[in-house]
Amino acid sequence: MEKIASFTIDHTRLFPGIYVSRKDNVNGNVITTFDLRVTRPNYEPVMNTAEIHTIEHLAATYLRNHEDYKDKTIYFGPMGCRTGFYLLLAGDYESRDIVGLMIDMFKFISEFNDDVPGASARDCGNYLDMNLPMAKYVAKKYLEDVLVNISDNQLIYPE
């Protein structure tokens, strides 16, 4: 079998950032998949499932209520390696196009002080695996250390 594209990225040279992972054409419409890399792979600790799960609930809620992106959001969810998230948007985008959106979204998460949306037995299959304080910590760290002063090498995959 051929390696899929995401397994051809040199993860030893990958830093936290926002990367276009792929673009797919679906019935004449482009779907852009973003790699939102929150931690440095194989270098720093991965996120625990509780904070990933909390960020997923908050980010998905934020995006699906966003005035400009609610109808463009296809999916937001965690990477299996627990170093980041995938965001799929309808449209042909570059990494820099969503920096402002990601700043606003991670600021929202880092400042969130209410009940996590969907964190109930009725609404979620694992609602007890949530950690809002750690989700806020991770979001603030990504916001401050990566997003607010993002550089070109954090927007384009290393070669």
User: 85: domain CATH number?
Assistant: 3.30.1360.80
Residue 109 lies in a domain: yes
State the CB neighbour count (10 A cutoff) for residue 78: 20
Amino acid present at 74: I
**Nearest 5°: phi and psi at 87?**
-125, 125
Q: Decide if pLDDT at 32 tops 90.
A: yes
* pLDDT tens digits, 109-151: 999 999 999 999 999 999 999 999 999 999 999 999 999 999 9
Residue 118 DSSP one-character state:
T
Mapped to the 3 state alphabet, what secondary structure does 49-82 carry? HHHHHHHHHHHHHHHHHCCCCCCCEEEEEECCCC
Residue 124 lies in a domain: yes
Residue 81 lies in a domain: yes
Number of structural domains found in the chain: 1
Q: Decide if pLDDT at 5 tops 80.
A: no
Residue 114 lies in a domain: yes
79 is in which domain, residue-wise?
A: 14-152
The whole-model pTM stands at 0.95
Residue 1 lies in a domain: no
SS3 78: strand
- In this prediction, residue 73 has a pLDDT band, given cuts at 50, 70 and 90, of very high
What is each CA distance from 55 to 6, 8, 139, in whole angstroms?
A: 22, 27, 8
- In this prediction, residue 7 has a pLDDT band, given cuts at 50, 70 and 90, of confident
Residue 9 lies in a domain: no
Q: Decide if pLDDT at 71 tops 90.
A: yes
Residue 159 lies in a domain: no
Residue 113 lies in a domain: yes
